Amino acid sequence: MALGSALLALTAASAAGAQGAIYAFVDANGIAHFTNAPRDSRFVRLAWTAQSVRPDERTAPIRWEYDGLIGLTARAHRVPPALVKAVIAAESSFDPGAVSRKGAQGLMQLMPETARSLGVSDPLRADENVDGGVRYLRDMMDRYGTLSLALAAYNAGPQAVDRHGGVPPYRETRDYVKRVLTYYRAYDGDFRR
């Protein structure tokens, strides 16, 4: 198995078995073997997990633990689930306890004032945070009519989009819009069931 293929398999195995350890060995024929339940003494526990590697901004993190919540909430508010997953990946990297330097909280990184205006009482609770974040994203989509502007408003605030008459010239916001759109394309297949 080529190293790239082995790492891809390991990433998938780590994401799937995030609650337990992953073990691996390479046999005499150069074939990599992975398991979460070793029965052979050749398996060695890996310290590496999907969460320990910072993903390349062009590569969507491989995560599934919130797909059910994302799918139900996104569909209830008429937002593509893959878009919601992309926003979560870009905002918090799937960490429900994430708090930014500016005070944004949870999976969808809601600012305290925004959370209050949306009726979110506990922004660190995944279900409340995602519901509030999806409703806010839906509002931005309705307000601006284009995904790029809606995402820019989600990141920099609608005042910045209005003031600049489009995506603000902030590097962070421009990079954010590109990253979310890249992740969105990558996650589309996760919700085609």
Beta strands 22-26 and 44-46 are antiparallel
Alpha-carbon Rg for the chain, nearest whole angstrom, is: 19
Phi/psi at 32 (5° precision): -85, 135
Instruction: Select which of 57, 65, 91, 128 is catalytic.
Output: 91
**What's the token pair of residue 161?**
């989009």
Which among 134, 143, 130, 137 is positioned nearest to 155, based on CA atoms? Answer: 137
Q: Which two tokens stand for residue 113?
A: 């004032």
3-state secondary structure string across 122-156: CCCCHHHHHHHHHHHHHHHHHHHCCHHHHHHHHHH
Burial 17-35 (b: 16+ CB within 10 A, else e): beeeebbbeeeeeeebbbe
* CA 25, chain centre distance (Å): 30
- Maximum Cα–Cα distance across the chain: 63
Q: Is 91 a catalytic residue?
A: yes
Catalogue the active-site residues.
91
